[in-house]
Structure 1
């Protein structure tokens, strides 16, 4: 009696189905952006009101200078309480992440999904000629996958 394989038959890949599915097709372009001189308290209020987990920080030329997230704000809450500092005096520039990884808007959305898995990041900004033009989140990739399921997945 031999061992049976329970691996199902694999569908042949359809040529070109995912070649043109770019990050730029699914990225968010209407971004909530922050400035370096904003207070962390202002950022916290915006994150809660807009139901987002973070956002890009830009200068006056719309160039990306960092990202601030819920985690950055949480760290500040702890520090402020310990040192008894008023939150309204703490600026974004002091607590944003400045080592920001960006991705190309022409990248395939499935390659972006792999980057999300490897990096453990929640969002990637997209730059064009040094300017912030959009952002793709894990949720945007999930939306893309759901839309594509009807066209190319079996």
Structure 2
């Protein structure tokens, strides 16, 4: 038996709307056991928002000064990073500034999807990319979101399939 996307997907998918505010989605995410939501606009999948998207929102990279130092006897320049932020204050200011933004401003837009009749190999090809942030694959049927497949779903399906064989 060949596993298909419909065999391993979770059909009851929690979503957020592209206009939902970052603060609301962060609150919703904190109460869930998963780390991301498909983002819909007028019922159509337009992206995915994950914990990683929120981490990127609060990274202090724009407040880090990189100083190249090349002193003999070193042949190559060594870079030292100095964080110019005030840590907690900056994080609070970042949160306050971002809290009212719509999720569309932080979501990942280019999301690979599969159809319900896609093979498990098609799903694995997406999940096994070099991008460590790809942890879920939305399942679309005629443009409608009908399910989602996580890495955990695939592992569980393979475990169950192996357990069912004599």
TM (normalized to structure 2)?
Answer: 0.72
Any idea what SS the aligned residue of 2:48 has?
A: strand
User: Residue in 2 aligned with 1:128?
Assistant: 141
- Cα deviation per residue 1:8-46 (whole Å; 9 max; x = unaligned)? xxxxxxxxx3x2x21111101111101111111211111
Q: Does 1:44 align with 2:22?
A: no
Contact 2:126 2:137 in 1 (8 A): no
What is the correspondence of 1:6-85 to structure 2 with a 5 Å cutoff? 17=1, 19=2, 21-60=3-42, 62-78=43-59, 81=90, 84-85=93-94
140-149 or 104-113, larger mean C-alpha shift? 104-113
How far 1:89 sits from its partner (Å)?
1.3
> Which SS does the other structure have where 2:20 is aligned?
coil
Equivalent residues of 2:112, 2:126 under 8 A apart:
no
Residue 113, structure 1, aligned to residue 95, structure 2 = no
Write the distance in 1 (CA, Å) between the matches of 2:40 and 2:13.
11
Alpha-carbon distance change, 91 to 102 in structure 1, aligned in 2, over 3 angstroms: same
Where does structure 2 lack aligned partners over 5 or more consecutive residues?
A: 61-88
Does residue 97 in structure 1 map to residue 79 in structure 2?
no
The offset of 1:82, in angstroms, is 6.6
- Output the CA distance in 2 between the equivalents of 1:22 and 1:126: 11
**C-alpha RMSD of the superposition:** 2.2
Supply the distance in 2 between the matched residues of 1:71 and 1:119 (Cα, whole angstroms).
16
Q: Which structure features the higher share of strand residues?
A: 2
